[in-house]
Chain A
Amino acid sequence: MRGPEAPPRLAGRVPIAVTVNGVRKEAEVEPRLLLVDFIRENLGLTGTHVGCDTSNCSACAVLMDGKVVKACTVLAVQADGRELLTVEGLSRGDKLHPVQEAFLAKHGLQCGFCTPGMLMSAYALLKGNRHPTEEDIRKGISGNICRCTGYTQIVESVQQAARSRQW
């Protein structure tokens, strides 16, 4: 803890280089900047949502080096040299990713606020397990909170995405 006599020191900026959705991005950021704020504010990729900002809801989920993580619980400087995949990186041009198609077809969303995080968790789950049981799916998305759907249609969406041959 900093003593009262020491004035808050505005730390200098730290150069980072991150590959985001296949594109290398360089920036200088404050060490305290959260990854989610870097993604939204610096890169303008606002598909990644801030739901709670208290590490509970996972609306901010992104993939870092292939693992799904909460972008609100990682510092931007920690992503230096790593590969990120955000929800914007799922589609190919106008063609939605099969996971996105499945959420559309099965109405896996209502208000849509949790959807980017839900998609990223579903994507990470299916990357590691193309034949998940319903229990696998429910466990896989257990860190993502949705206040609308009651999860049933989200589970059905992930099941549909698992069956897709468009991967």
Chain B
Amino acid sequence: MIAGGQSLVPLLKLRLASPSLLVDINRIPGLNRIEEAGEFLRIGAMTRMAEVGTSTLIREDYPAIHDASEVIGDPLVRNLGTVGGNVSHGDPNNDMPAVMLALRAEFVASGPSGERKIRAQDFFQDTFTVALSHDEILTEIRVPRRPPRSGGCYLKLEQKVGDFATAGAAVQVTLAKGGRCEEIGVGLTAVGPTVIKARKAEDWMRGKTEFDRAAVQELARLATEESNPSTDIRGTSDYKRRIVALLVSRAFGKACERAGGAS
């Protein structure tokens, strides 16, 4: 199946994928809507990254998604690359999965037996392996509507434009009175065989205040502990762990600021 093709065509060229049949779904209408309906922000799976990047709704209310939409690939890739492709490819180096984990998104899969919803935390199973069956396609991404005093941020360290992340971190927070962290989601890019939901870090931070610097430091440390980066051309595993800590604490600060907090 080919939509944006910005991951698949490079794989075809390298002969890493050689399908005997390729179905182009680009002409199926109605799969590129961005709208708030019911309890969700609904993003059609074939929405181009460039369309996400220019959506005022997303920029204002779901800033972590906006952040990611600006650092995926390069402008040409973003003109074709789709949100659905970025998540369903299952590449741990892709940026949108971490954001979707932090935002507790769910994915709508359609197949011969109808529709089913898959939670982001159940979706990313292994490198290039997601919970979609072979006879299913991803049609929509649903993000719970932003509660008041919520904010998010995605930060990515990249060596150059268009490169995959050395590491990336998405943080989504909902603040209560006094800067208490009522809810938090943390997703990590490119530091393991699959995108990582930093559960221990999330559990730790819930109930703590955004001003508690020791708590934020521990949040970053726990996220580092949950990451499992490998040494490669973009850096050593030790270096990447340090980057994870840095990105998580910075993304947390920015997310709180956007939530109307004081960080």
- Residues of A whose CB lies within 8 Å of any CB of B are 1-2, 6, 9, 31-32, 34, 53-56, 58, 61, 67-70, 72-75, 77-78, 121, 139-140, 142-143
CA distance A73 to B7 in the complex (A): 9
CA distance A73 to B9 in the complex (A): 6
Asked if B5 CB lies within 8 Å of chain A CBs, one says: yes
Chain B residue numbers with a CB within 8 Å of A78 are 2, 5, 24, 26
Chain A residue numbers with a CB within 8 Å of B13 are 34, 53-55, 72
Instruction: Give chain A nearest CB distance to B129 CB in angstroms.
Output: 14
CA distance A74 to B5 in the complex (A): 7
Q: How many residues of B contact A (CB 8 A)?
A: 23
Instruction: Give chain B nearest CB distance to A55 CB in angstroms.
Output: 5
4 extra interchain contacts, Cβ-Cβ under 8 A, other than A34-B13, A78-B2, A140-B75?
Answer: A2-B18, A54-B10, A121-B75, A139-B75
Chain A residue numbers with a CB within 8 Å of B10 are 54-55, 73
CA distance A9 to B18 in the complex (A): 11
Interface stretch (choices B76-84, B112-120, B251-259): B76-84
Q: In the bound complex, do residue B79 and residue A142 qualify as a contact, i.e. CB atoms below 8 Å apart?
A: no
Chain B residue numbers with a CB within 8 Å of A68 are 75-76, 79
Chain B residue numbers with a CB within 8 Å of A61 are 76
Chain A residue numbers with a CB within 8 Å of B9 are 34, 55, 72-75
Chain A's closest residue to B22 (CB) is A31
Asked if B152 CB lies within 8 Å of chain A CBs, one says: no
Q: In the bound complex, do residue B162 and residue A73 qualify as a contact, i.e. CB atoms below 8 Å apart?
A: no
